[in-house]
Amino acid sequence: MNLPFLPAHTLHKLLKKKEISVREIVTALFDRIEKVESKIKAFLYLDKEGALKQADEWDRRIAQGDKLGSLTGIPIAIKDIICIRKIETTCASRILKGFVPPYSATVIRKLSRAGMIIIGKTNLDEFAMGSSTENSAFQTTRNPWDLETIPGGSSGGSTAAVAAGEVTLALGSDTGGSIRQPASLCGVVGLKPTYGRVSRYGLIAFASSLDQIGPITRDVRDCTSLLQIISGPDKMDSTCLNCPVPDYSQALIPHLKNMRIGLPREYLISGIEKEVRERIMEAVEILKDLGAQVEEISLPHTPYAVATYYLIATAEASSNLARYDGVGYGHRTPEKTRLIEMYKKSRQEGFGNEVKRRIMLGTYVLSKGYYEDYYGRAQRVRTLIRQDFDLAFEKVEAIVTPTSPSVAFRVGEKTDDPLQMYLSDIFTISANLAGIAGISLPCGLGRDNLPVGLQILGKPLSEPTILRVAYAYEQATRWTEKLTLPQELSDDRVSK
């Protein structure tokens, strides 16, 4: 058995049969981390001692006959933008270096109650602002499929860790595609829940009306189990929806009989890589074979999504990041200066270039004389984008698109061209603006044998629908099982 590459549901069966122990799982993952982490650089923090201590405790309880939940004893990594009590949380920024939260996020408490084992915190673009995980203040994460390429972002550390077999499951956050885009580029499954389906309490804010925490996993069944645990109302988050959580496992049906699926013409644009287009159209044919009725639809305001997003997101970022002033916590310049100079110097030293760029843009669009022309207009276009989806979902139950217009690009390729970097999220941004649910899963290989992702979108609270489509497609193609890493990182991977 090659434990680092087994999905959580398989590990769960082995634990129930007492064919393996939790300690064996955790030890196997840390052995894998020791072997490949110097190449991947997915983690900012690891807690081997704490993880093994938790593993031994669960092995003791299992031996005593304690009931195993679906993810009890399963290791998980956490994007370093989610607070864990007494563990440093930096958002991959120098300005938060040394910040140790006095509380844990709601999702962390839920994972703990479910018996999951947190093994560490993963790298990201600073404050989740980026599409490549090159904007971290501490290190650049690499894509396990090709170490010269990026893993996507901003949840690149979490997706690379899962793809490389360093951890079984991970949590990321998605503000404009930051779970789905790296999941696509790394050949794993990533889901952005409906806005408000998962509590944001303890998630350090980038853009509060867009941010969502979601699962990153090896396959759709694991994604379903992890979403089940982290979903639900939370009195600590006023934006969290106060509605019951269905049993998502009921959605795992291997056919799509009579399901209506839309294919938006605006997402198959010029500029999309030829191989990406081919994989998506092949996926559409498989969905038809599974019983779905696929029809072309229109989302006419899609071309305005990127501009709209980068006005709204930067405006909210400017407001949220104003709290980092060198006074209450985080970095403070060592220079002895007056108060205003201390604010300026601390922020200048603490923030990276991309974060500064977005703060300045957001401050500008919120400034007197420009607010209505930029931020106000962007909010009205956001409404039009949401209405596009509302109209589409009157005709279809789900929408399929590419997740990314390309496979993973090379490290450094787009760092000098912010606009080209921003366009990496062109197919994922609209879902955040509209607050709808979306999932990305592998649908084959494209240029240079790098993974291609299929995105499935659904109306608010349609997680069961998109999980059903994803699961049926996954079972028909077995891409999540077939995809194997290059030899450099797969010497000890189980043969498929």
Pick the catalytic residue: 79, 110, 414, 459? 79
Is the CA virtual torsion 466, 469, 475, 476 positive or negative? negative
Separation CA 117–CA 470 (nearest Å): 27
Q: 461 near 194, Cβ under 8 Å?
A: yes
Separation CA 476–CA 289 (nearest Å): 9
Strand, helix or coil at 17? Answer: coil
Q: Which residue has the tokens 């996926």?
A: 283
154 is catalytic: yes
Partners of 87 in the beta sheet?
A: 84
Is the CA virtual torsion 454, 460, 465, 467 positive or negative? positive
Rg of the chain over CA atoms, in angstroms? 21
Neighbours of 484 (CB within 10 A): 15
Separation CA 458–CA 437 (nearest Å): 5
Residue 156 structure tokens: 């690149």
Separation CA 332–CA 287 (nearest Å): 55
- For residue 402, what are the CA distances in angstroms to 302, 398, 426? 14, 14, 10
Give 30-73 as a 3 state SS string.
HHHHHHHHHHHCCEEEECHHHHHHHHHHHHHHHHCCCCCCCCCC
178 is catalytic: yes
Pick the catalytic residue: 21, 131, 154, 158? 154
79 is catalytic: yes
One-letter amino acid of 292: A
Phi and psi based region of residue 29 (left: phi greater than 0; alpha: psi -120 to 50; beta: remaining): alpha
Question: Residue 228 contacts by C-beta under 8 Å, 6 or more apart in sequence?
Answer: 70, 245, 247, 248, 249
Residue 329 structure tokens: 């916590």
Separation CA 227–CA 213 (nearest Å): 10
Pick the catalytic residue: 21, 155, 178, 424? 178
Separation CA 80–CA 467 (nearest Å): 26
| Helix segments in 201-273, DSSP class H | 220-230
Q: Which residue has the tokens 């030890």?
A: 27
Q: Which is nearest to 251 in space by CA: 458, 98, 18?
A: 458
Phi and psi based region of residue 196 (left: phi greater than 0; alpha: psi -120 to 50; beta: remaining): left
Catalytic residues: 79, 154, 178
